Structure 1
Amino acid sequence: MSLRYGILGFLSKWEASGYDIKREFDDVMSVFWHSHLSQIYPELNKLEKEELISSELVPQAGKPDKKVYTITRKGREWLMNWLLAPPEAPKMKDVFLMQTFFMDNIPVGEVLLKLQMYKKERQQRLDKMREIIQIRWESIKERNVMKARILMSTAVLKRGMEQEIQYIKWCEETIRLVEACKNLWGKEEAAQTQNTYAETEHAEVPFPTAVSFSEVEDIFLEYFGDLIDDKGRNR
């Protein structure tokens, strides 16, 4: 449902084609929302049938006519009602965290590799956001204009950057945690385990090893830092 309000939000300030809207979703909106053209065009059709937006064909020299959408009065009312309504509680779906939860099923070498690769992906996202905000910053200075939409979209970018920085930090800390507790994946050396896994598609992981918590308590306390209440510390 939120996709339609994102579209209405874009059209609240200017008319746009489906491609223009997709480009906006790929820019700042990518911080918190991802959408394909295959999702945007059906939603545009629904919005037009519900008379929340209207469209017209705009002639283009040497190109097919472009369909441009505009928000209607009814659509603006729907958008305002949505903006003023209490926000829904976030429903988190993080595939990588789901995978991480069950990584005791794969060799420790693969665990470390996946964490390192994912850290790299999040760093690339952060670099992209920094590039976007740099371009926007230069554009704002050049035009010497500030609007409420620019202000609030910049706030969203800041939140997205903070989120990526925190995710990268979590990856780094978790890599150190796993490296300090490699023996929990079995008695074989991590290198042997990784080589064995690479040789066959479904290689078995060495039987997991259990140790007393006291052996890893200091490692855990360092990992969680201030997130654990002092009462839970066994000093």
Structure 2
Amino acid sequence: MLTRRNGNLIGRLFALTLFAAIFGVGLLIFDALTTTPDTDTSTATATPRYADPALGVMATAAPVDSPADAELASAQTVQLPGTFPLDGAQIVIPSIAVNSPIIQVYLSGNSWDVDSLGLNVGHLQGTTWLSGRPGNIVLSGHVEMGDGRRGVFTNLGELEDGALIILQQGDTERRYIVTEKSVVTPDNLDPVRPTSDERLTLITCDDYDFFSDAYATRTVIVAEPIN
């Protein structure tokens, strides 16, 4: 998995190699110019600019051009901050040592605002919650923080089929087992669409690209309830 941390290392090595090549060409040009009388031999140097490590890992979720159904559409006007019951919600994934609070991630325009997600796991507004009815519960978490620290979902891609995931809130506890793992592009909305069956979907970023300072893909985990 390529993250900002090792992506920046690769980028630095590339920049140093490029700088050495430019410097070598510059010496050749300088030497050629010094053999010509009355020729300006001044040269200019450039400082490589690296991607800003303070930029958010997942600044926005996949854009929602048109909500999949009325549930997502109504969420933008009905679900307001502070109205969704997530107090005390927790996610536990024993096999990758995740034990994290779950907070609400609200729709902002055509995407979910994850700027304040931090080391928490976020429930995407408009998707199902622990309501006792079928549907798709969608949770998102950072793979890496902007300052290089490990995110809550750093090891999400290591989950195998059959891995246990537990959601808790108050007296409610739901247990799920992983049934599917996939990698999708950021504009693929299939993982967040409502479903007729009960399922849990976890999403995080992957494949960091140094040149664009963005993650090219999303790792998606799907889990089904243990009856």
Give the structure-1-normalised TM-score: 0.24
Larger Rg computed on CA atoms: 1
Of Structure 1 and Structure 2, the greater strand share is in 2
Of Structure 1 and Structure 2, the greater helix share is in 1
Greater RCO (Cα-Cα under 8 Å, separation 6 or more): 2
Give the structure-2-normalised TM-score: 0.25
